Structure 1
Amino acid sequence: MSSGVAAGPDQVSLGVLVAAVDRDVIDAAVAGCGVGAKRSDGKLPPHVVAYLTMALCLFPDDDYEEVATKVTGSLSRWGCWDASWAVPTASGITQARKRLGPKVMSEVFEGVAAPVATSDTRGAWLRGWRLLAIDGFEVDLPDTPGNAGEFGYAGSGGNRSAFPKARVVAVAECGTHAFLAGEVGAYAVGENTLAQRLYPRLRPDELLTADRGFYSWEAWDTAAATGAALLWRAPAQLALPVVTVLPDGTYLTVLISPKVRGAGRRRQILAAAEAGQDIHPDEAHLVRVVEYDIPDREGNGTGELIVLLSSITDPADAAADELAAAYHQRWEQETANDQLKTHLRGPGKLLRSRLPDLVHQEIWAWLTVHYALSVLIARAAEAADLDPDRISYSRVLRITRRTATGTAGFSPSGLD
């Protein structure tokens, strides 16, 4: 990202997490997962553990006790920490995380991850549609028997990865890089399988962009059924018969379900589409195709043909150049992945968690912290009338870490 503009120190602190992740959301997640506070929890009731787990993601280079010291060091000024209490030990924090379990943080993320972009956010919209992208990434985990059994490795034999890997597929808001939904699975669970669980959550005012690896009839059919607009790159082998050439040079085609057997029935569907007749959505979808060339960077004449499929069939609703520009906003999710893995976590670093349940917990806490920072950046960009891309993520992260000590505004008392 550009290193141009950053939010001021007074805008960022561990309070960013408290502001983005309301205590009520955590309490609801705790209650829903049946892990409510007990007097035996002492200084580490569930809601404190949730914030502490997020703080562990904010400070990946520090051990448990160092992070706990940073979070609790000046809490006495807030009247919510007794200065005579000792900072929790690493083993105490681990036990508290085990009590919190694997599901609370995913519920917390679900509770806070609402769309961030407003009508004033630059790069976030195609006309009335909120631009989203779906993509996947891998997460390296500590090499423990539990993690290996739960998540598995990439490859096998001599080509096996050095560490177990979790797979994450997430939907992000292009304009703000904020992750809005995700699925976590073992490495052997394919991206398309995890993505299929996300499509039903789309809304009619959203436009989902996706690379060609995500296309299948089932995926398109599931996503289209939500009423959301779709803009996906077509795989090279997909047959796209021309139904109607449109005035802007795009054309209409039909995507036919693989369950439709026989060339005769396929010809009937195509003929119906050419005649402007309705086609049954269980059998086929009428879509618009946008084709354009991207010149090669080396100048050797090996440019690339991009073929896009869109459910926006009327050029009056979105021109071809608008769709092409919107598709390339999909790369903003690559930026989000980079922020998450390179800046927030650190390049080549493993997660902390040595137990599968804690891996799930940590991944969702990690996504939640990224969401909180994305909200901060988006609001700062709007206040300065800038594209959020102009706000330096790495600089905001550095300021957040520097100002975090003693600024967490949450009470350790789970019984108040």
Structure 2
Amino acid sequence: MSRSRFVGAPLSVQCATAGVVRDRSWVWLPGHLGALTRWIPPVLVDEVLDAAGRREQRVRLLPARVVVYFVLAMGLFGDCGYRRVRSALTAGWPRTVVADPSAAALRQARRRLGAKPLALLFDRLRGPVGTTATPGVFWRDLRLVAWDGTCLEVPDSPANVACFSRHAARTTRPAGYPQVRLTALVECGTRALVDAVFGPQQYTELPQARALLASLRPGMLLLADRGYDGFEALRDACATGADVLWRVQSGRLLPVIRPLSDGTHLTVITDRRSGDRLTRWMRRGRHGPMPANLTALTLRVISYQVTVTAADGSARTSTVRLVTSLLDPHRHPASELASLYHQRWEIESAYYGLKVTLRGPDRVLRSRTVEGVEQELFALLVLYQASRRAITEAATTAGLDPDRLSLTIALYTVRLTVINASTAGPTLLHAVLVQARNLAPTRRRSRTSPRCVKRTLSPYAYNKTKGSVGHKTAVTTTITLTNPP
């Protein structure tokens, strides 16, 4: 994984191969992405094309580098067809200067390119982007990261149905669009993608998360919800050298091996065979030494209650139980860890930015082939990561928390710079992002929203959820630590 910064050149010097094609250097003019060209420069695109073996033998009207930028622009202008996306890339020049290929020619160029160059491009851009100077990225010298899964809809074509399949439905009707399951590892402080994998939705989140273990490093604190509760997952995550702070089932039996001074306690999590031996030892009243050769993991258990009080005085309380590899109660207080766990919701904000802010609400991917879906999804991941890099750099320079900078405003600005063919846009982008009127409040409002079906099978069923979709209520949240049973 490369973490170096690439600085893009102006359009006048982007044509690195212009000397070869001489009077046909105009074919390279659409090879840009506006303000994001700094983070996705032509030099980097040429590198991934060479690595993927997709460089052209002779210069065509649609060189491979230009097609890469065209695929990326498809993600920026998701509501536009091929010709309108191409027009956005070439709007800065007279029509007599650049070619106007047909939609069929653009479609064939996408197929020639394939998905591998975009996959390699994402591999170059992914990774943590926050530094020690970026507010909100570290807690007690630990970088906060989280992983979780989500699904995206793809077109209902025979190829997509055969590969990705539909999700199960309770009715006899077909269950909507086929879906791709995406699992990502996100840096909580910046919402940048450390790594991501995707595949057919019938694969559960846990096997996909195992593919992300290689991206964990010592000095990271991994947050996860109850869906990843299990000995093997905890063992493999701790084996990477990273620390964990995971939620587990509140009714799970976790033996109290040793109580700690702050009301938490140490426990031992084992596999099934070692667990049976440990249970028999505890039932004997712990007489004699603990069984030897246990495949076990020593963790610290933190239990607390979360009370959510609405403005009308109604309240509801839920019990949360966490396990962590941070065993020292003095160095890592339980009260701070209980509040820190809710940073896991930053990955939900990241998914909202990827699926709604960038792609558009209720929008299905446009590709009707499996390789096209992979290419389009990698392009969305590249766009999202480049935008997060730009936001984080602007926030770090201004000494602001990246949470206060708007991804929506960043994408609107990038679209304008693409249409204007301005690659000198990073300065403009930074200036727009840090304007006081564009910043989010310093402290977030505490709100809650009911769970409901966002996409129904029947269009008439929308009226049943119309009043609750997006309806948020201001609340007051209280966290109270509880002692172990």
TM-score (structure 2 length as normaliser): 0.74
Paired residues of 2:266 and 2:300 also in contact (CA < 8 A): yes
Partners of 2:147 and 2:44 lie apart in 1 by 25
Paired residues of 1:252 and 1:287 also in contact (CA < 8 A): yes
- C-alpha change, 1:314 and 1:68, in structure 2 (3 Å) is same
* Corresponding residue for residue 331 of structure 2: 317
1:393 pairs with 2:407: yes
Structure 2: unaligned runs, 5 residues or longer: 1-31, 425-485
Displacement of 1:148: 0.8
- C-alpha change, 1:268 and 1:206, in structure 2 (3 Å) is same
Displacement of 1:357: 0.2
Displacement of 1:112: 1.0
1:60 pairs with 2:74: no
1:287 pairs with 2:287: no
Q: Secondary structure at the match of 2:272?
A: coil
Single out whichever of 398-407 and 238-247 deviates more from structure 2: 398-407
CA displacement, residues 138-167 of structure 1 (integer Å, 9 cap, x when unaligned): 111111111111111111462542211111
Partners of 1:380 and 1:269 lie apart in 2 by 56
Q: Which amino acid aligns with 2:70?
A: L
Displacement of 1:324: 1.8
Partners of 1:135 and 1:45 lie apart in 2 by 37
1:105 pairs with 2:126: no
Find the partner of 2:42 among 12, 23, 38. 23
Larger Rg: 2
Q: Which amino acid aligns with 2:42?
A: R
Displacement of 1:303: 0.4
Q: Which has the higher contact order (CA 8 A, sep 6+)?
A: 1
* Corresponding residue for residue 89 of structure 1: 102
Alignment of 1:17-416 (within 5 A): 17-39=36-58, 42-74=60-92, 83-156=96-169, 158=172, 160-260=174-274, 263-267=276-280, 283-298=295-310, 299-300=313-314, 302-407=316-421
Q: Which amino acid aligns with 1:286?
A: T
CA displacement, residues 252-306 of structure 1 (integer Å, 9 cap, x when unaligned): 1111112436x335555999x99999986x7111011111111033455530111
Partners of 2:104 and 2:175 lie apart in 1 by 29
Q: Secondary structure at the match of 2:202?
A: coil
Displacement of 1:36: 2.4
Paired residues of 1:256 and 1:266 also in contact (CA < 8 A): no
Q: Which amino acid aligns with 1:377?
A: I
Structure 1: unaligned runs, 5 residues or longer: 1-12, 77-81, 411-416
Partners of 1:184 and 1:307 lie apart in 2 by 29
- C-alpha change, 1:328 and 1:90, in structure 2 (3 Å) is same
* Corresponding residue for residue 14 of structure 1: 33
Q: Which amino acid aligns with 1:91?
A: A
Paired residues of 1:154 and 1:160 also in contact (CA < 8 A): no
Q: Secondary structure at the match of 2:418?
A: coil
Partners of 2:387 and 2:195 lie apart in 1 by 16
Aligned residue pairs, count: 389
Partners of 2:393 and 2:202 lie apart in 1 by 38
Displacement of 1:183: 0.7
Q: Which amino acid aligns with 1:292?
A: Y
Q: Which amino acid aligns with 1:166?
A: V
- Superposition RMSD on alpha carbons, in Å? 2.7
Paired residues of 1:133 and 1:174 also in contact (CA < 8 A): yes
Partners of 1:242 and 1:176 lie apart in 2 by 37
TM-score (structure 1 length as normaliser): 0.86
Displacement of 1:223: 1.0
Partners of 2:173 and 2:317 lie apart in 1 by 33
- C-alpha change, 1:327 and 1:149, in structure 2 (3 Å) is same
Partners of 2:99 and 2:302 lie apart in 1 by 63
Partners of 1:141 and 1:36 lie apart in 2 by 29
Single out whichever of 297-306 and 180-189 deviates more from structure 2: 297-306
Q: Which amino acid aligns with 2:44?
A: V
Identity %: 35
Runs ≥4 residues deviating over 4 A: 265-271, 273-280, 298-301
Paired residues of 2:417 and 2:423 also in contact (CA < 8 A): no
- C-alpha change, 1:159 and 1:129, in structure 2 (3 Å) is farther
CA displacement, residues 296-354 of structure 1 (integer Å, 9 cap, x when unaligned): 33455530111111111112332112212221111111111111111111110011111
Paired residues of 1:131 and 1:326 also in contact (CA < 8 A): no
